[in-house]
Chain A
Amino acid sequence: MKVLICIGHVPDTTSKIRFTDNASKFDKSDIQFIIGPYEELALTRLLDIKDAGTDLHITAVNVGPVETEATLRKALAMGADEAVRVNAEPLDALFTAKQIAEVYKKGTYDFIVTGKESIDYNGGQVDGMIAEILGIPSIPSASKFEIMGSVAKAEREIDGGKEVVEAAFPFVIAAQKGFAIDPRIPGMRGIMAARKKEILVFEPSEQANITKIIHHYLPEAKSACKKVAADNVEELVRLLHEEAKVI
């Protein structure tokens, strides 16, 4: 079985966010880039399924300039079998989804896995867009996933609960928290093996950008925290009622 997993190249979750060029661009200086946390869980789960005996060939794919190869290399070190980079700036979700759909069509993949959203622009769009472009079903916000022979079983979070689904291949599934518990840390052996693996580079297909980020803002600074003494909780209740008006 062959799977295509989309690997996001995003700022480390501990990053302080800054902007440049009149706040029109994200400032990448001093930023450590990582595999998106949801994609890391997704890849971990695929590797677990493979280790448990399912014949699974894992291709990691990213749409991005050459600097994202370091992130793809990490996916290879974790255990992905091969990697593909589509050589383009992913500025628009539809553009990105189109590129992934093209990679899918070039291979003989059985399904596609993504993270539920990128932690930079929080679009959460690419999984649904790929599925719609390809005309195949999708499983959003999946918190569990297993392959049982010719079908897959997944659990997805819904408002106030969960839903179990059974899926025939092909489909697109978006991983969220719970998909795997702890992300796999690449070992020395994986890191060495990843150095020898080739990253295939594809040129992008044409697709106009119809969305564009034009300006960034940081949240407004909070006013200083009003401290209340631990033995005077009545004062906190009064403040929440009379000043903040939230109770």
Chain B
Amino acid sequence: MSVLIYIDNKDGLLKKSAFELASYGFEIAKNTNVDTLAVTFGEIADEQVKLLGKYGVKKVIKIINPQLLGFSAQAYSSVISEVALKESAKIVLFGNNFDGRAFSPRVAVKLNAGLAPAVVKLPSSYTPFIVKKRAFSGKAFADIELSSEIKVLTLNQNSFHIVENPVDTTVETFAGTVPAGAYAVKPIEVTINSEKLSVTDAEILVSGGRGLKGPENWGMLEELAGILGAATCCSRPVSDLGWRPHYEHVGQTGKVVAPNLYIALGISGAIQHLAGVNGSKVMVAVNTDVEAPIFEAADYGIVGDVFDVVPKLNQALKKFKESN
């Protein structure tokens, strides 16, 4: 029996979320007396495999199959399910990201498993199996009980701390079977956004609202993001107006995020916006309106004009970074 974790890799390299998943999966495996295994597609460097071992993963199963012609939710899910059956996985764990959301429902159907999406904590009980998940787009949480024998979980990003549990890791290669017709949906072209950091990966987010007055004023936000190693994002009106691309929209109907630090600039804080960002560990708001609801959600606030405050903040942060 095992806890099986799906790990996505970018050209053989792992992201921080992989170690969160490994740490979370290991904790469940420890509590249920089973091994922690990981499955990933394609080649992965040896030192990356060793890193997974540092967080408790005993075996890494690499899927190498020339019939896998790029992303296919159907094909990938089918092979992951095969691995889960082969390894008698009782828990199959994904990150709550694009891959995890694409594969987990299909794997759940294949394994006749209950699915708990967007979980934020370790299970509070194993029999019955109860785990806390995000609900109402960040406005609430819910305990979900899974009564199936196999359980599928997707873990919300940045909701579990990374813990080292070093073990020796072995690597295995598996081909699996690609279902006929899976590539009737055929990937044609992949474009990667030029930004270095994606909104969902970043630990610090610098977010702009209508208070910025126009797309031409984003330079100072980008500068701030650059100093902090942050990604930029925005409120809904800003993406609806076309000032910023849609994938930067955070909020109830955009991306729901949970960074360590969220800096809201010129955002009033509509309930839909707050729902999408209130998972942030620390929130800073800068707004001219002292009554703006963003200040109720923020930990630190400056009542002031972003055009005055942000350049000064950039200077202060630069100085801070130079001396730290």
Whether both chains belong to one complex is answered with yes
Binding site for B on A (CB under 8 A): 11, 13-14, 16-17, 19, 37-38, 92-94, 97, 116-117, 119-129, 131-133, 135-141, 143, 157-168, 171, 177-178, 181-182, 210-219, 222-223, 225-231, 233-234, 236-237, 239-241, 244, 246-247
Residue B207 CB within 8 A of the other chain: no
A213 to B281: give the CA distance in the assembly, Å. 26
Q: Is B222 in the interface zone, CB < 8 Å from A? A: no
Q: Which residues of A contact B309 (CB under 8 A)?
A: 230, 233
Q: Are B147 and A161 closer than 8 Å at their CB atoms? A: no
Decide if A177 touches B249 in the complex (CB within 8 Å). yes
CB-based nearest A residue for B236: A177
Chain B residue at smallest Cβ distance from A244: B282
The 8 closest A-B pairs by CB, nearest first: A128-B105, A230-B304, A160-B198, A132-B109, A161-B192, A137-B185, A125-B105, A210-B114
Are A222 and B184 in touch, CB under 8 angstroms? no
Provide the main secondary structure of the chain A interface. mixed
Measured between beta carbons, the chain B residues less than 8 angstroms from A223 are 299
Binds A, one of B56-64, B93-101, B161-169: B93-101
Contact A137 B181, CB 8 Å, known A165-B187, A217-B142: yes
Given contacts A158-B71, A222-B299, A164 and B198 within 8 Å (CB-CB) = no
Which partner residue on chain A sits nearest B118 by CB separation?
Answer: A122
Q: A14-B271, A164-B189 are known; give 7 further A-B pairs, CB within 8 A.
A: A94-B115, A97-B109, A120-B136, A128-B103, A226-B300, A230-B304, A236-B302
Q: Do A227 and B301 contact each other (CB < 8 Å), given the known contacts A13-B253, A119-B253, A122-B135?
A: yes
- Give which listed residue, A92, A93, A120, A158, contacts B190 with CB less than 8 A: A158
Note all chain A residues with C-beta closer than 8 A to B316: 233-234, 236-237
Cβ of B50 within 8 Å of any chain A Cβ, yes or no, is: no
Q: Which residues of B contact A165 (CB under 8 A)?
A: 185-188
Given contacts A141-B98, A157-B98, A177-B253, contact A214 B145 (CB under 8 A): yes
Q: Select from chain A the residue with minimum beta-carbon distance to B295.
A: A225
Interface of B is mostly: mixed
Within the complex, which residue of B187, B296, B315 is in contact with A225, where a contact is CB–CB below 8 Å? B296
Chain B residue, CB-CB nearest to A234: B316
Least CB distance from B101 to A in Å reads: 5
Contacts of A214 in B (CB 8 A): 130, 143-145
Closest CB in chain B relative to A136 CB, distance in Å: 8
Once A140-B98, A168-B184, A210-B146 are accepted as A-B contacts, the answer to whether A178 and B246 lie under 8 Å apart by CB is yes
Q: Can you sample 17 A-B contacts with CB below 8 Å?
A: A14-B271, A124-B117, A125-B117, A128-B106, A129-B105, A158-B71, A158-B190, A160-B201, A163-B188, A210-B146, A212-B145, A227-B295, A229-B302, A236-B302, A237-B317, A246-B204, A246-B261
Q: Which of B21-29, B32-40, B72-80, B208-216 contacts A (4 or more CB under 8 A)?
A: B72-80
Cβ-neighbour of A226 out of B115, B249, B278, B301 (below 8 A): B301
Q: Indicate which residue in B106, B187, B299 contacts A132 across the interface (CB closer than 8 Å).
A: B106
B324 proximal to A (CB < 8 A): yes
Distance A218 CA – B59 CA, assembled complex (angstroms): 39
Say whether B312 faces chain A, with CB atoms less than 8 Å apart.
Answer: yes
Closest-by-CB residue of A relative to B117 is A123
Q: How far is the CB of B119 from chain A (nearest CB, A)?
A: 11
Contact assessment for B252 and A210 in the assembled complex, using a CB-CB cutoff below 8 Å: no
> Using Cβ atoms and an 8 Å threshold, which residues of chain B touch A132?
74, 77, 105-106, 109-110
Complex contact B302–A119 (CB within 8 A): no
B31 neighbours in A (Cβ, 8 Å): none
Q: Could you say which of B10, B144, B302 contacts A213, with CB atoms under 8 Å apart? A: B144
Distance in Å from the Cβ of B170 to the closest Cβ of chain A?
A: 28
**Cα–Cα distance between A233 and B168 once the two chains are bound (Å):** 48
Residue B176 interfacial (CB < 8 Å): no
Q: Which residues of B sit under 8 angstroms from A17, Cβ to Cβ?
A: 136, 139-140
Contacts of A139 in B (CB 8 A): 73, 185
Contacts of B315 in A (CB 8 A): 233
Given A138-B185, A159-B198, A162-B190, are A128 and B247 neighbors across the interface (CB < 8 Å)? no
Contact: B142 with A129, CB < 8 Å? Answer: no
